[in-house]
Amino acid sequence: MVDYKLELSNVTKVFQSSSKEETTAISNINMKIPNHRFISIIGPSGCGKSTLFNIISGLMEASKGEIMVDGKSVSGLSGIVGYMLQKDLLLPWRTIVDNVIFGMELKGIPKKEAKKIAIPMLAKYGLKGFENSYPSQLSGGMRQRAALLRTILYDRDIILLDEPFGALDAQTRANMQEWLLDLWDDFQKTILFITHDIDEAIYLSDEVYIMSARPGGIKDHMMIDMPRPRKPSIVTSSLFIDYKEKALALLSEEVKKAQRLEETIQL
């Protein structure tokens, strides 16, 4: 039997609106994720990707189903995984180093000790010289780095990233992808990564999950069998293009379904 780092079984979320109408956001999601994997999740907008992350991170309760980390149920517990949203959510009144140690501070680690660990990390991961700057003085990419380092330093084996590079320009995004892979390699984390970008998903991941339109479920699952480290030029290889074609076909079906759904709602 294979031991999985993270297991979701039949995770379902039903929202109850005021008029007693029920909306199923996600239904029967099953995932088995081995340790140290880089997993991407793609799907049409509104398919419940973020709901899924909220449930895994314990910020929301599932209506049904179970979440297991290392074989133990963690349903409804928060603080088990690291979670980062698209917005960097740095605290504007704290310096970068104080922001990066925020998670450690909440765990009760003395500030001095936390800083001793954080400062060399900032230097290594591209924020040298900005330790005492405030978030408003940094570019979007750098703020995202700081936010990600905060998540890493919170020191959880599993990290959820909800479109972390969605707001960045293409150039910065490419840089950040390399940077993230370095970080993933150095810290040996298990990463779940939500993105809209198929190229990004395939390039970064070991596995890609494709979600179906509402109610969100797992439509398909692709293993990306390409050796690492991958060069950026890999995106032109025939293998990569095969993956991309397959993913595009699956996704466009769902996007169309989602659009039809939206149209009927509007009617």
Give the closest residue to 248 by CA, choosing from 188, 198, 194.
198
Phi and psi torsions of 97, nearest 5°: -65, -40
Nearest distance from residue 241's CB to other proteins, in Å?
Answer: 37
Give the closest residue to 196 by CA, choosing from 208, 206, 184, 185.
208
Would you say 24 and 14 are in contact if contact means Cβ atoms under 8 Å apart?
Answer: yes
Cβ neighbours for 227, distance < 8 A, ≥ 6 positions apart: none
Nearer CB in complex with other proteins: 78/259: 78
Nearest distance from residue 167's CB to other proteins, in Å?
Answer: 13
Binding-site ranges for other proteins (CB under 8 A): 57-59, 78-79, 82-83, 85, 87, 89, 91-93, 102-103, 105-107, 134-136, 154
Nearer CB in complex with other proteins: 43/103: 103
**Distance between CA atoms of 73 and 51, rounded to whole angstroms?**
19
Terminal C-alpha separation, the chain:
50
Phi and psi torsions of 84, nearest 5°: -130, 135
Question: In angstroms, how far is CA 214 from the centroid of its own chain?
Answer: 20
Nearer CB in complex with other proteins: 55/218: 55
Nearest distance from residue 204's CB to other proteins, in Å?
Answer: 22
Nearer CB in complex with other proteins: 108/229: 108
**Distance between CA atoms of 66 and 8, rounded to whole angstroms?**
6
Would you say 82 and 159 are in contact if contact means Cβ atoms under 8 Å apart?
Answer: yes
Nearer CB in complex with other proteins: 104/251: 104
Nearest distance from residue 211's CB to other proteins, in Å?
Answer: 21
Nearest distance from residue 219's CB to other proteins, in Å?
Answer: 27
Nearer CB in complex with other proteins: 32/107: 107
Nearest distance from residue 202's CB to other proteins, in Å?
Answer: 28
**Distance between CA atoms of 181 and 230, rounded to whole angstroms?**
10
